[in-house]
């Protein structure tokens, strides 16, 4: 081998193995490197146990006509939605202009066009973008500071930044007509704003979502699903299982060992120790939807299953281990939502007039008792653990809100105030909290709860107060239709969606 060939190969090997040129996969990302010239070496690490990304970077700035920073990235095409919860390591204000966040980039050149959702060291949060190579960076600042929830969505050449301080709803900024091409780099960026030092950012709950295409026909076409567990005290999320199929409505079993969900008309138990699903046999009842519920003692499973000749969804009960279901409601549509704590009664949403109302029926079958009669849609009824109250959602006032009534249907009062379309209240086993799904008014009408929307999971003290956002989710229908609290009231299970599922 000629000396100059050997030297060239050795130099190439050194470059490829150095931190600045690392192409090794980092979690869901294809590679990581320092962008810019002669940038102090950074690093990127994925921690599987906590599903966190730790990114360390240097660089003079992400601004003006060129950028220097550490980038962990993957290549993507088309539309996407990027989400993460992000925090700097170390006290705020070490350098007020250090930066971290999501970046969509045309290339890995320092002067490349890009769009970024960026959090600064002093709390400034902004949508930054460079329209063409070498052009000056432009900026649209958020109306809040110190955001630690960062979301960046692309639809064609329009980029929307949604940011929040955890617990609060998003605020939104948008830029249009930024053409980065269809094939782009997508990833997490950290810049120290000081060429001689490094800064570290930690990103958790990282989600890269490919949303529903325009024209998707709901209930005929479905996206993939992730089963996620959410820790109430911290808001930390953990993906436990992913599937290209539509998984819906996880119930948590009273022993804390399993979840029960529906998919393709069948019921499944999901073992939380092995992360493996198993079909629950339900004989010929195989059109089960996401309105299913466990008895309080966990021995029985209530189903809602489509039977066209009987008018739609019919309520059944079956042992949790499976068997031949028993028909409970004589006709449909009947959508089951709750079992009384004493096991004697079921609550379902039924259409027996022009409206959907809430009904009670003996768990062994018998006479239906109508509990609501207000004009509009009443849905999602659920008993409190003491059996004294029923929480439900109703759009009788024009927006979908959470309501409460006594177990006999009396004293019906609104609990939420109308900022969102609120659905499916679920009471924690200790009786202290209500978790529910909130759709955005600008996306969803009061009487609808579709798949594949921007939704919040929110938490409200049952004693009263202001709801808090506990998860920012791409989902909706099927995300949390059923009682999904862990038996210790510390976590909830839910479903998020994506065309291609990614952590």
**How high is the pLDDT of residue 32?**
98
* Structure letter (DSSP) for residue 485: B
Q: How does DSSP assign 378-443, residue by residue? A: EEEEEE-TTSSEEEEEE-TTSS-EEEEEETTS-S-EE-S-SSSEEEEEEE-TTSSEEEEEEE-TTT
Taking Cα atoms as reference points, which of 81, 73, 78 lies closest to residue 151? Answer: 81
Q: How does DSSP assign 244-265, residue by residue? A: SS--EEEEEPTTSSEEEEEETT
Angle at Cα 300 formed by Cα 296 and Cα 304, nearest 5°?
105
Residue ranges, CATH 2.120.10.30, the chain: 224-498
Are 300 and 344 in contact, with CB atoms under 8 Å apart?
Answer: no
**How high is the pLDDT of residue 31?**
97
**How high is the pLDDT of residue 22?**
54
CATH class of 224-498: mainly beta
Residue ranges, CATH 2.60.120.200, the chain: 25-209
| Beta carbons within 8 Å of 435's beta carbon, 6+ residues apart | 425, 426, 428, 457, 458, 459, 470, 480, 484, 485, 492
CATH for 25-209, options being 3.90.1150.10, 1.10.8.60, 2.30.30.40, 2.60.120.200: 2.60.120.200
The helix (run of H) or strand (run of E) holding residue 34 is strand 31-35
Block means of pLDDT (10 residues each) for the chain, 503 residues, are 34 37 84 97 98 97 98 97 96 81 98 98 97 98 98 98 98 98 98 95 98 96 98 98 98 98 98 98 98 98 97 98 98 98 98 96 98 97 98 97 98 96 98 98 97 98 96 98 97 94 45
Taking Cα atoms as reference points, which of 493, 38, 93 lies closest to residue 269? Answer: 493
**How high is the pLDDT of residue 181?**
98
Half-sphere exposure of 214 (CA within 13 A, CB side): 4
**CA dihedral defined by 35, 37, 41, 44, rounded to 10 degrees?**
10
Measured between alpha carbons, how far is 295 from 302 in angstroms, rounded to an integer?
Answer: 8
Does pTM surpass 0.85?
yes
Half-sphere exposure of 428 (CA within 13 A, CB side): 19
Are 326 and 318 in contact, with CB atoms under 8 Å apart?
Answer: yes
């Amino acid at each position: 081998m000629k000396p100059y060939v050997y030297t060239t190969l050795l130099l190439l090997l050194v470059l490829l193995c150095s931190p600045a040129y690392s192409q090794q996969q980092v979690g869901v990302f294809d590679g990581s490197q320092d962008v810019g010239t002669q940038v102090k070496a950074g690093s990127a690490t994925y921690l599987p146990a906590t599903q966190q990304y730790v990114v360390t970077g240097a660089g003079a700035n992400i601004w003006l006509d060129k950028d220097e920073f550490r980038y962990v990235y993957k290549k993507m095409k088309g539309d996407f939605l990027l989400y993460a919860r992000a925090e700097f390591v170390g006290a705020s204000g070490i350098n007020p202009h250090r930066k971290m966040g999501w970046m969509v980039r045309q290339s890995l050149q320092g002067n490349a066009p890009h769009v970024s959702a960026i959090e600064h060291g002093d709390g400034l949060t902004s949508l930054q973008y460079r329209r063409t190579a070498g052009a000056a960076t432009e900026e649209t600042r958020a109306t809040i500071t110190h955001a630690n929830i960062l979301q960046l969505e692309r639809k064609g050449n329009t980029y929307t930044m949604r940011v929040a301080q955890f617990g609060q709803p998003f605020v939104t900024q948008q830029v249009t007509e930024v053409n980065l091409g269809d094939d782009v780099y997508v990833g997490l960026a950290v810049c120290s704003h000081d060429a001689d030092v490094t800064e570290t950012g930690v990103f958790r709950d990282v989600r890269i979502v490919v949303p529903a295409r325009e024209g998707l026909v709901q209930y005929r076409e479905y996206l993939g699903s992730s089963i996620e567990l959410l820790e109430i005290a911290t808001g930390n999320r953990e993906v436990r299982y992913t599937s290209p199929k539509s998984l819906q409505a996880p119930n948590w079993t009273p022993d804390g060992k399993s979840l029960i969900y529906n998919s393709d008309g069948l019921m499944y138990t999901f073992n939380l120790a092995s992360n493996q699903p198993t079909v629950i046999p339900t004989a010929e009842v195989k059109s089960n939807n996401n309105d299913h519920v466990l008895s309080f003692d966990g021995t029985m499973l209530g189903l809602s299953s489509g039977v066209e000749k009987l008018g739609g969804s019919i309520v059944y009960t079956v042992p949790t281990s499976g068997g031949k279901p028993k028909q409970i409601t004589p006709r449909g549509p009947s959508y089951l939502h709750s079992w009384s704590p004493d096991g004697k009664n079921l609550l379902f949403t039924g259409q027996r007039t022009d409206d959907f109302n809430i009904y009670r029926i003996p768990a062994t079958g018998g006479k239906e008792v109508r509990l609501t009669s207000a004009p509009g849609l009443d849905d999602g009824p659920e008993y409190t653990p003491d059996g004294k109250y029923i929480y439900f959602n109703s759009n009788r006032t024009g927006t979908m809100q959470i309501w409460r009534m006594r177990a006999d249907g009396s004293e019906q009062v609104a609990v939420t105030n109308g900022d969102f379309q609120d659905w499916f209240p679920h009471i924690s086993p200790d009786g202290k909290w209500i978790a529910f799904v909130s759709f955005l008014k600008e996306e969803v009408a009061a009487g609808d709860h579709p798949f594949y929307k921007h939704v919040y999971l929110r938490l409200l003290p049952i004693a009263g107060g202001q709801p808090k956002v506990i998860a920012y989710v791409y989902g909706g229908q099927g995300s949390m239709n059923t009682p999904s609290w862990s038996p210790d009231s510390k976590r909830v299970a839910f479903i998020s969606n994506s065309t291609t599922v990614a952590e």
